[in-house]
Structure 1
Amino acid sequence: MPHGDDGDTKAEQLLAALRAQGIEVDDAPRRLSEYSYDASNYRVRPAAVAFPASVKDVRKVLRACSTLGVPVTARGGGTSMAGNAIGGSLVIDLSRRLTSVGELDGGKAAVWVDAGVILGELRSYVEKASGGEVTFAPDPSSMTRATIGGSIGNDACGNHSVAYGRMTQHVQEVELVTADGAHLHAGRDFLRAVDAGDQQSVARAAELFAGLKELAQDNLAPLRVELGNIPRQVSGYHLGHLLPENGLDVAAALAGSEGTCALVVRAKVGLVPKPRTTALLCLGYANTIDSARDVTTILAARPSAIEGLDASIVDIMRHRRGAASVDSLPQGKAFLMVEFPADSIEQAAAECERLLEKLTADGRVLDHAIVTEPAERAKLWRVREDGAGLSSRRIDGVQTWPGWEDSAVAPERLADYLAELLPLVEQYGYTAFMYGHFGAGCVHMRLDYDLRSDAGRESFENFTREAAALVVAHGGSLSGEHGDGRARSELLDVMYSPAMVGIFRAFKHLWDPAGILNPGIIVDPEPFAASLAPEGVPLPGHARGEPAAVPGAAVVPSSGNRSLLPVASPFVGNTHACIGVGRCRATTGGFMCPSYRATKDEKDSTRGRSRVLQELTRTKGTSHGGWSSPEVREALDLCLSCKACSADCPTGVDIAEAKSELVDQHYRGKIRPFTHYSIGWLPRWLPLLTRIAPLANAGTGFGPFRWVGEKLGVSARRRLPDFAPSARIRRRIREAQFADNADILLFIDSFTRAFRPEVVPAAARVLRDSGISVGCTPDACCGLTWISTGQRDGARRRLARLISRLDDGTNRDIVVLEPSCAATIRDEGPKMVGGAAAARVAARVRSFSVAIDEAIKRGWKPSVAPPQTAVLQTHCHEHAVFGSGSQKRVLKAWGVPNLVESSSCCGVAGNFGFEAEHFDMSMKVAEHSIVPALDSGAGLVLTDGFSCAMQVSQVAPGRTSQHLAAALDPQSARGVA
């Protein structure tokens, strides 16, 4: 909406009109912050965001906008890297409620689906509904959060495009709403009203179809000559589909139109046979250009995927996720990942061998690996799929940016193109992080531009123009997948003739004569250096990585390894690292983000929270008072502090740390909520409470006390644990029979000691059974509950005391029974306390499952008979710091044949689930993963985390759960089948 009185008036009129018609529309500052960004370099703050619940709502919105002349930008998952999912007026989010999927057609060849459906969820639905016979093919790296509507808008494809092509090849028909609210149905050689009785839509369809026919007939030569020349020619409109020989396919012509012509609300998409199995051939090369020269040979073997990446991506993956994350890759400085489908794994592996023989003769391959094991294949694909997020920051912390990240040429010209592009990158002093769909000639690249200084932006502009001229000289396309958006629309006249640019303009005008749909994109573009988000923003790393100061803010030491950060800055918890990849919006895979999975609201995603904090700094230079700011509290209130984002987010954003630091700043010198003193200080109270355990347990079950607790913030609906009497605790510790000068030390945390002391001797017996002697560490507290309630000084004191007691001059492993305490010592100790001692202690710490996994690798095997079935709930903090693989490996080695994994947060997450205001959300989070896992009927339930055990007792009162130590205890009778 335009600025000024007229724009404000239109905004008020629009909001009033939409709300009067029952349409959810939000213009709150926090909401606008969340939608000011996508995954690009750009920032455009909208006037409002609408959440239509139906196609009827979409029509109402567009009619109101058309009447008032208010521009509209459609948005799906908000993962655009070209800046085509943000706009300055009304943003329509189609991902919240337009999420229905129809039944597969009779031949299992197609399905109707709403625009807001996630690609990955559609694929899962299709495969389940077809019994695994067919699948949905397009699989961009963002498929766990990208929507059908957005993918049609960008003409997305993905890793398997050499076999399946772009979205254009899979869109058979679409339902759309025009700028003036007409509801139309489009496909090959037709465009008609969805409802024949809707006279407005009937007339609009006839007018448009006649205009499209005329446009194609009048421009046959340029459409045939300039369009469709390479597999990934995504830039501009795909008007070649309007040619007579292509059947005047209106649906295909709208693919890649980026919401500038009409809003696609439903689509009929084609399905393809699902491969029975696949093998992955990984090839190592001396450099990227050598790898590109082998692409044509590989294409002749007809693989389903040819993906490239360079060593810089691998180095970052190794740095952030450990050597094990890339240990299946061959030697080399550049890599190709070539996949072959087949009916059997032997056939697929044989295809790999045949191709390898040909490539070896050419002499460019340095090393190779043929990967047939599913888990190893998935691990390697993750390196490629996380490329954009992983490469967003160099190992030294310098930020990288998209911009020239989506160019494409014919595959046979890829090597020659790269041979000129890479020297151009070096000429400008940039470092390139490169990956891409090499089989389709498409290159994704992030560069360490300086976008915050005048000289840096000038260099960015000059480089981009030279790169555009270069790719066109090689017969290529500015965009090979992500669309033109703000990043490339201005450069279309470099790629196309003036006549073709005029045809694009005429096409847009036919659909949207008033120009209200995503203005400035493709036609009449905004300059590509305008609206850059980093311009003038005081972010850490603003000039090649140096920390930037916020004017007027007092500076204190940060709690991480970062440089000094301003107290008032919300750039805590590494939230400035968010680049909008949106993995936090995925509803499956990983543990992030539990509250978003419960609400499906952008405000509850890691990205939404990060964007709010970034935007507050941009607009005021400070955090608006930090936690006292309504925007901050609304954004972070439902964060469970599970820390999953610190591991699952490709850029490593840690919202738990951000929340802790902001709460800490806010309550300094103030009276805190009751829960900060009760739950936050619980380890301080436990020695007293265990001495009076019978009285304490009676009190926690006494109705009036529970009522008072509810008023003070502790939920009366939450089942509370029984405190173990001190005598029982002492007896259990004696039972452990700890040795002096032992091989390893057991750390008994406050929660295990007070609530599950029987785990202590069980763990000691299991560890001794593995052939090592077991001792005990001195008593100490890691300060976890102080961290989660934002009492960081108290946490720092406790961690420092713990480190001094545990740093005993040996390198003996320290096995911690409570995963969250193990994670705190390992992760927070070096960050909050720092120093060599903290690093030494952290390196020695193991969670119990990690220690047992290591024992199994040494050759030990549990002596207890395994159960036939088991449910595994990995603690979020263990997942974040140690990974979730150790427990699964232990159970596999133990011989458990049927494992049901609860692959997300249980919902308690420390103090969160015990707080009265968060109880309902805690239970809603539980419904995502732990409840279905328990409903599976599996026998043994493993919950090493105490909070996870509490949630199991809450959601399934008849079920009991065990610590892994108790399950493996050679002295315990199992009786679980």
Structure 2
Amino acid sequence: MPRVDIAAELAELGVDADSSTRRLAEYSYDASNYRVSPLAVTFPRTAREVATVVRWCHEHRIPVIPRGGGTSMGGNAIGPGVVIDLSRHLDRVLSVDAGSATAVAGAGIVLTTLAADARATTGGALTFAPDPSSASRATLGGAIGNDACGNHSVRHGRTSDHIVELHLVTAQGLLLTATRDGLRATDPADAAAAARAAEISDSLRELTAANLAILRTQLETIPRQVSGYHLAKLLPENGFDVARTLVGSEGTCALVVSATVMLVPVPTSQLLLCVGYRSPADAARDVPAILPFAPSAIEGIDRKIVATMAARRGRESVAGLPDGSAWLFIDLDDHSAAEHSEADVPATAKRLLDHLRAQGRMIDATVVDDPARRRALWRVREDGAGLSSRLADPDDESIGDGYESWPGWEDAAVAPERLADYLDDFADLLDRHGLTGVMYGHFGAGCMHVRITFDLRSPEGRAVMARFCTEAAELVVRHGGSLSGEHGDGRARSALLPIMYTPAMMSAFARFKSIWDPRGILNPGSIIDAPPITADLALAEVPRRTWPTAFTLGHELPLVDPFVHAVQGCIGVGRCRADSGGVMCPSYKATRDEKDSTRGRARVLQDMVRTAPSVDEGWRSTDVAEALELCLSCKACSTDCPTGVDMATYKSEFLDHHYRRRLRPLSHYSLGWMPAWLSAAGLAAPVLNRALRSRLSGLAARAGGLDPRRTMPAFATRQARRTHLAALSPVDESSTVVLFVDSFTRAFRPHVATAVAEILGAAHPVDCASNPVDRAPDPADRAPDPVDRAPDPVDRAPDSVGCAADNCCGLTWISTGQLDRARKVLRRTVADLDDGTDRPIVVVEPSCAAALAKDLPELVPTGAARRVAARVRSFAAHVPALLDTGWRPPPLPDEVTLQTHCHEYAVFGARVGIAALEALGVTVHTADGCCGVAGNFGFEKGHYEVSMAVAENGLAPALRNAPERPVVTDGFSCAMAVEHLATVDDGLSPGHVRGVHLAELLTSAPDPATDSRGVRP
């Protein structure tokens, strides 16, 4: 049946279905090595709609693939039929019963949301225990499908240990409920469902009776035996527990649409003990000594992951780790203390540390009791899968730009007491195959995650992978272990199950599958009748082409183009779908649509480079253009994504090619070329400002491709510009700081430049780099000066206001993908700023600072550009240096609301503004997330609703909660977001809520007779 017919027929049945090529690309991947294109993707709203889809597929013999957060590392969330995305609508907590310590929730609910709702409903007393590292985006249905465990499984076990009932849709589209002692129709009046429940129950009892011996001897031999089906739960001594038998069945037997789960008490006191070791094996040898202390978690990571975290997010992100090359994260809580009648948790930690010192393997240890510091360190472990895939360690010569490691053998498990010996043997196996493994995982449960440097692009590399995984399976079986300890078998390990299980057990598994799914339509390829582990690899057979780029996207891999390597950086871990922890991905948080996640966009780009008939046609892709339309270019993914995907850069590159020799959107001219016309606009500021407040504003906005509902900025008058910018007097070459005054500051808030200069001047001699005041730009593109040679300082006159012509960061041209122009502008800027000194270049506007620090050396790959970029810092990032000189501001407010610009967050660090204000004794309340304006985005036609929804993620609630607090908005777009919210939000008062630059806060108040742009009210 043609793909379009599937979506159309399902739509006629009332189901939201999509078979567009863009949508299929998004759902062709999960977090594994595999790619399988579906026929259609559906988004059912109820359990009965799920049943409708499955029944239709059963009648037409079309495979069904259930999917939650799409974070499967085994390849069990992709398939060749109809994907049912349960995360869009079946994502609610239906009830919480504190008395029975249970909750009922939809299969599509995110695990952290379920846990948070349970805590909120029970007054903080109860929570849902399973917490895999992907818990902020993985769903309950996925956790049930894989029998996920998590960081605290040493205390709380697997998901199967917390299941009371599963509410199912069978392969025939019937609604059944699996319980701890049987199977029944969900609706007692449904005769067909009741008959099917009885039929399945009888068949399961027959299967159990025929296989009693092997079920008792081959299953449940270690805590993390997840591979295969959990048939031992059907044994008489286990009460014919059908519900827990289905946990870990990977959607191959029935679809879980909701579940009743058990809740556990929330610890009232806890701390983190970080212990450093020389190697992961040394750390593993101490696990048996730690377990008697009843910790709630024993997790391990190695040095490469920590080094990558520090390189990507700054040393602050790993502050608090002790010395070592491998670490154990040990959580202790009040239960740990109670087990040994300790006075308190710190006493238990002290006794454990004394015990570990006596073992003689630990190098160092730290005790972390601050909740914020604990969360920050746990994030290092939680991001292990992504961080280890593309390492970044300046101190390790073996790790270059092209380093890649992959799953495939990433979660085998053994008994904890055998883990160290297994790791020694596993390291030898890696060496024999010439592979490197980055290790992390659940040491307390004997489950080791390893990402390995497989070469998945070449036939030779794939053959090595097949041989290695076969030998690794044989190795873990010799150690009495399981091929999978958490992620399920999927496409990565199902074909290897005969190494672990006898033919009799494999036959029992096949029979179990056929009882539930006689036509074999449910998630084919997982557990039973699996394809070879090297089939359907996403990196195989990608055409080797050269994709020309303006950005330098360097790497060291011989078989892949730099752009292809960059977009393939997304491995599907899905942190961009998380509700908390970082800024990305604001558009996904607003729409909850996979196409608007960083991952969804990356997958469409990956399909572009894989399937495009030619490079030129690839750049013309309408699928990619659609996927990128709601990308705010906030750059947060470049920091928040564990693999460092920088979608803003990829979008800019794509737009540059997509619109070559084609008419662009109007906003690319009105906003993209803004720096070129802002100076001239200043001459007519009074007229323009009156027009913007008149009926003509809507017409003008539409003519420029803008949304007329958006509050437009008022231009600073020529007098205001001269008043403020003329105050920036020239200095001689003894100046120690260069002040870069950007286009936005000059045009809209020149008083901020005065404030910054006042502060810098109080601490250093200051040089100023700025456009000539109110000079219209020269339309002719003059040839740039050579920029790879530092000018002789004695040949240069000292800079002052207006002394460096046409200094601009090029940001608006970069964000709209006009990269030839951006490079011309940046070359001029480099020529002026590369003055042979290492003086800091302090940039007023943080987005411009980020462009100069990151985009400049990637677009202008010269020594001069790199020298300039290394000197650039945002004003907030420079405040600690000011404090070091002894400078102190006038009295400050006790509390502020801080909206950190996304680009500053991404390039200079998440805490630059917070650290600056806290160092000054100010209590900071952060408006977490993107403001929604994000440069061009919030002004452009078609983006208003999403922009406002993004603001609701953090900024708007923060303003409503405390409208009286000063709002620090160093970014001009952030200030405009605040101004617009104050205008349209009934809970805020225009004129009373206003974004101020940090420099304004640190200097005297502006003249009350004028607003911030020198415009009289």
What is the TM-score when the length of structure 1 is the normalising length? 0.94
Partner SS state of residue 730, structure 1: helix
Give me the whole-angstrom Cα distance separating, in 2, the residues matched to 1:380 and 1:855.
29
Quote the residue 2:952 is aligned against. Answer: 927
Give 1:47-196 correspondences, 5 Å limit. Answer: 47-107=39-99, 109-196=101-188
- 1:407 matched to 2:412: yes
Report how far residue 319 of structure 1 moved.
2.8
CA offsets per residue over residues 264-299 of structure 1, 9 Å max, x none? 000111111111232221111122211111010011
CA offsets per residue over residues 555-604 of structure 1, 9 Å max, x none? 466433357999x9893792221111111111222111111111111111
Give me the whole-angstrom Cα distance separating, in 2, the residues matched to 1:805 and 1:466.
60
Give me the whole-angstrom Cα distance separating, in 1, the residues matched to 2:600 and 2:67.
14
Give me the whole-angstrom Cα distance separating, in 1, the residues matched to 2:532 and 2:555.
35
Give me the whole-angstrom Cα distance separating, in 1, the residues matched to 2:610 and 2:683.
53
Quote the residue 2:553 is aligned against. Answer: 560
Give me the whole-angstrom Cα distance separating, in 2, the residues matched to 1:855 and 1:283.
37
Q: Give the percent of matched residue pairs that are identical in Structure 1 and Structure 2.
A: 53
Check whether the contact 2:550–2:653 (CA below 8 A) recurs between aligned residues.
Answer: no
Check whether the contact 1:557–1:565 (CA below 8 A) recurs between aligned residues.
Answer: no
Give me the whole-angstrom Cα distance separating, in 1, the residues matched to 2:550 and 2:725.
40
CA RMSD of aligned residues (A): 2.2
- 1:893 matched to 2:919: yes
CA separation of 1:773 and 1:347: change in aligned 2, threshold 3 A: farther
Tell me which amino acid in the other structure corresponds to 2:906.
A
Tell me which amino acid in the other structure corresponds to 1:750.
S
User: Which is worse superposed, 914-923 or 293-302?
Assistant: 914-923
Partner SS state of residue 777, structure 1: strand
Report how far residue 940 of structure 1 moved.
1.2
Report how far residue 858 of structure 1 moved.
6.5
Quote the residue 2:545 is aligned against. Answer: 549
Check whether the contact 1:864–1:970 (CA below 8 A) recurs between aligned residues.
Answer: no
Partner SS state of residue 145, structure 1: coil
Tell me which amino acid in the other structure corresponds to 1:697.
N
CA separation of 1:677 and 1:42: change in aligned 2, threshold 3 A: same
Check whether the contact 1:675–1:713 (CA below 8 A) recurs between aligned residues.
Answer: yes
CA separation of 1:625 and 1:13: change in aligned 2, threshold 3 A: closer
User: Which is worse superposed, 605-614 or 245-254?
Assistant: 245-254
Report how far residue 154 of structure 1 moved.
0.5
- 1:301 matched to 2:293: yes
Pick from 359, 365, 370 the counterpart of residue 367 of structure 2.
370
- 1:838 matched to 2:865: yes
CA separation of 1:623 and 1:377: change in aligned 2, threshold 3 A: farther
CA separation of 1:712 and 1:179: change in aligned 2, threshold 3 A: same
Quote the residue 1:359 is aligned against. Answer: 356
Check whether the contact 1:643–1:654 (CA below 8 A) recurs between aligned residues.
Answer: yes
Give 1:556-705 correspondences, 5 Å limit. Answer: 558-562=551-555, 571=563, 574-620=566-612, 622=614, 625-626=617-618, 628-704=620-696
- 1:485 matched to 2:490: yes
Quote the residue 2:932 is aligned against. Answer: 907
Quote the residue 1:269 is aligned against. Answer: 261
Tell me which amino acid in the other structure corresponds to 2:502.
S
Pick from 945, 949, 962 the counterpart of residue 971 of structure 2.
945
Give me the whole-angstrom Cα distance separating, in 2, the residues matched to 1:316 and 1:937.
38
Report how far residue 364 of structure 1 moved.
0.7
CA separation of 1:342 and 1:815: change in aligned 2, threshold 3 A: farther
CA separation of 1:379 and 1:559: change in aligned 2, threshold 3 A: same
CA offsets per residue over residues 423-478 of structure 1, 9 Å max, x none? 10011000111101000000100111112222211111111110000000000000
Tell me which amino acid in the other structure corresponds to 1:25.
A
Check whether the contact 2:612–2:618 (CA below 8 A) recurs between aligned residues.
Answer: no
Q: Which runs of 5+ in 2 are unaligned?
A: 392-398, 772-806, 984-989, 1009-1017
Check whether the contact 1:34–1:608 (CA below 8 A) recurs between aligned residues.
Answer: yes
Report how far residue 222 of structure 1 moved.
1.2
Quote the residue 1:541 is aligned against. Answer: none
Pick from 904, 908, 916 the counterpart of residue 941 of structure 2.
916
Give 1:739-750 correspondences, 5 Å limit. Answer: 739-740=731-732, 741-750=734-743
User: Which is worse superposed, 117-126 or 477-486?
Assistant: 117-126
CA separation of 1:888 and 1:572: change in aligned 2, threshold 3 A: farther
Quote the residue 1:222 is aligned against. Answer: 214
Give me the whole-angstrom Cα distance separating, in 2, the residues matched to 1:13 and 1:948.
46
Partner SS state of residue 24, structure 2: helix
Give me the whole-angstrom Cα distance separating, in 1, the residues matched to 2:696 and 2:225.
70
- 1:960 matched to 2:994: yes
Check whether the contact 1:485–1:521 (CA below 8 A) recurs between aligned residues.
Answer: yes
Check whether the contact 1:172–1:251 (CA below 8 A) recurs between aligned residues.
Answer: yes
Pick from 270, 280, 283 the counterpart of residue 288 of structure 1.
280
CA separation of 1:570 and 1:19: change in aligned 2, threshold 3 A: farther
Tell me which amino acid in the other structure corresponds to 2:463.
E
Give me the whole-angstrom Cα distance separating, in 1, the residues matched to 2:855 and 2:346.
45
Pick from 782, 785, 788 the counterpart of residue 812 of structure 2.
785
Check whether the contact 2:632–2:934 (CA below 8 A) recurs between aligned residues.
Answer: yes
Tell me which amino acid in the other structure corresponds to 1:389.
G
Check whether the contact 2:569–2:645 (CA below 8 A) recurs between aligned residues.
Answer: yes
Partner SS state of residue 449, structure 2: strand
Check whether the contact 1:864–1:969 (CA below 8 A) recurs between aligned residues.
Answer: no
- 1:429 matched to 2:434: yes
Partner SS state of residue 799, structure 1: helix
Check whether the contact 1:561–1:831 (CA below 8 A) recurs between aligned residues.
Answer: no
CA offsets per residue over residues 672-728 of structure 1, 9 Å max, x none? 332222111111111111122111212333323532431441221111111111221
User: Which is worse superposed, 238-247 or 173-182?
Assistant: 238-247
User: Which is worse superposed, 603-612 or 931-940?
Assistant: 931-940
Check whether the contact 1:861–1:893 (CA below 8 A) recurs between aligned residues.
Answer: no
User: Which is worse superposed, 796-805 or 623-632?
Assistant: 623-632
What is the TM-score when the length of structure 2 is the normalising length? 0.90
Give me the whole-angstrom Cα distance separating, in 2, the residues matched to 1:457 and 1:561.
24
Give me the whole-angstrom Cα distance separating, in 1, the residues matched to 2:943 and 2:616.
25
Give me the whole-angstrom Cα distance separating, in 1, the residues matched to 2:343 and 2:940.
54
Report how far residue 302 of structure 1 moved.
1.0
CA offsets per residue over residues 398-430 of structure 1, 9 Å max, x none? 221111111000000001111111110011000
Check whether the contact 2:6–2:40 (CA below 8 A) recurs between aligned residues.
Answer: no
Report how far residue 14 of structure 1 moved.
4.0
Give me the whole-angstrom Cα distance separating, in 1, the residues matched to 2:611 and 2:444.
44
- 1:259 matched to 2:251: yes
Give 1:701-740 correspondences, 5 Å limit. Answer: 701-704=693-696, 706-735=698-727, 739-740=731-732
Tell me which amino acid in the other structure corresponds to 1:372.
D
Matched pairs, number: 950
Partner SS state of residue 251, structure 1: helix
Check whether the contact 1:849–1:887 (CA below 8 A) recurs between aligned residues.
Answer: yes
Report how far residue 901 of structure 1 moved.
1.8
Pick from 39, 43, 50 the counterpart of residue 31 of structure 2.
39
User: Which is worse superposed, 489-498 or 772-781?
Assistant: 772-781
Give me the whole-angstrom Cα distance separating, in 1, the residues matched to 2:879 and 2:565.
31
Quote the residue 2:462 is aligned against. Answer: 457
Check whether the contact 1:556–1:565 (CA below 8 A) recurs between aligned residues.
Answer: no
Quote the residue 2:890 is aligned against. Answer: 863
Tell me which amino acid in the other structure corresponds to 1:577.
G
Quote the residue 2:232 is aligned against. Answer: 240
Quote the residue 2:792 is aligned against. Answer: none
CA offsets per residue over residues 837-876 of structure 1, 9 Å max, x none? 2222212111111111443466655432323x42211111
